[in-house]
Amino acid sequence: MVTGTEDLAHAVEAAAVMNLLPNRPRLLALGEPTHGDGTLLDVRNALFRQLVEDEGYRTIALESDCLAGLLVDDHITTGRGSLDDVLARGLSHGWGAWEGNRALVRWMRAHNARAEREGRPASERLRFAGIDGPLEITHAASPRAALTELHRWLAAGVAPHLLPSTEETLDRLLGADERWTEPAAMRDPARSFGRSAEARELRLYADELVALLDERTPELIAASSAEEWERARLYGRTAVGLLRYHHWMADRSPARMTRLVGLRDQLMAQNLLALARRGPTLVGSHNGHLQRSRSTMRMDDGQVAWWSAGALAGARLGEDYAFLATAIGTLRDRGVEAPPRNTVEGLLHALPGDRSLVDARRLVAALADRPPAARVSPWFGYAPLDPAHLSELDGIVYVRDVREAGLG
């Protein structure tokens, strides 16, 4: 153990997290170095419960489809829909099948049901949000749902002659959804519909609809509610974001992949900033999406670098954004054994306890005379901490041994 690190470890508790920070942030980002059910989701769920009960947090936001997430939020706030259906349709990437996410949604609904019985105000109810777009690095959804919902909402609140198009025109330009979801488009830009004449016209309509939404804000909120207006803004930025993403899927220049990964995180950041306006929120996503430094990834045609959602949101929010990176010792289900002692994870592995909250700034000071080496992962799905970025962290949640549900 490096001298000076003995008293860096605290219990992973809400009070200890707040003691690391200058104030209670509106966005508390909890990153993870790998996705999967099991120990890491248990840690997240336990921390969220404490943040709700002791620190006034009311929303949790996950790296999942922002539009599909509306189903989860509706279930949590009203009880509509069965838990199985909500998890299957409301969480993308198949993550609704994970027991950790099922336990989270079940607990949040029970919390709200109890609040309803006790007659507590709406401000005491818990909320759920997805921060990702309806896309992944390998594909993107049709903009139909977002664009159509935005048009319908505006059509109910403004004079028809103000709308830039009819819903029938949008439907004609959108065509079959298969145009947009062509699996081969990620590998072959020529298979993408994103730079067709119809797509170009849809981008103009989407821009006009969003401009109209902003322009008529006072009357639209007065006729509905601020909550409904915010939902319309979600539809708007998702429609615009998807059309931009499809545009760059059709690009043939060397900038293509850099723009695609950057656009995904840009949409995430926009969703994060909207949640920050709502109130204190715990954000769960990959470390790479939440870090303050530039993210990198090696692709088939070379390495790409872009600014993460956390970097973009953090630059706007300042101390209202805080980032805790999760680091792990072993993930034996995936062949990740105990870390070398000269790495950050190896140093943390020597600390007592199975789960620790570490003051990143004090750790950096303690390691000033002995810079740690970078850990190398034997499995592509796990990303170790980068020692060069330790100073940009507000804290580290260290989990000694990770078990994945259903494995091992």
- Quote the tokens at residue 321: 């954004």
| Residues contacting residue 14 through CB under 8 Å, at least 6 positions apart | 47, 50, 51, 53, 54, 55
Length of the chain: 408
Please provide the average confidence, as pLDDT, over all residues in the chain. Answer: 95
Q: How far is residue 237 CA from its own chain's centroid?
A: 15
In this predicted model, what pLDDT tens digit does every residue of 339-397 receive, in sequence order? 999 999 999 999 989 999 999 999 999 999 989 999 999 999 999 999 999 999 999 99
pLDDT recorded at residue 408: 43
| Domain ranges across the chain | 9-136+273-402, 139-267
Among candidates 383, 391, 319, which has minimal Cα distance to 359?
Answer: 391
**pLDDT for residue 407:** 55
Q: Each residue's pLDDT tens digit in the chain (408 positions)?
A: 555 555 788 999 999 999 999 999 999 999 999 999 999 999 999 999 999 999 999 999 999 999 999 999 999 999 999 999 999 999 999 999 999 999 999 999 999 999 999 999 999 999 999 999 999 877 899 999 999 999 999 999 999 999 999 999 999 999 999 999 999 999 999 999 999 999 999 999 999 999 999 999 999 999 999 999 999 999 999 999 999 999 999 999 999 999 999 999 999 999 999 999 999 999 999 999 999 999 988 877 788 999 999 999 999 999 999 999 999 999 999 999 999 999 999 999 999 899 999 999 999 999 999 899 999 999 999 999 999 999 999 999 999 999 988 654
Closest-CA residue to 100 (of 145, 43, 23): 43
pTM here?
0.96
> Distances from the Cα of 218 to the Cαs of 221, 266, 278, in angstroms?
5, 27, 18
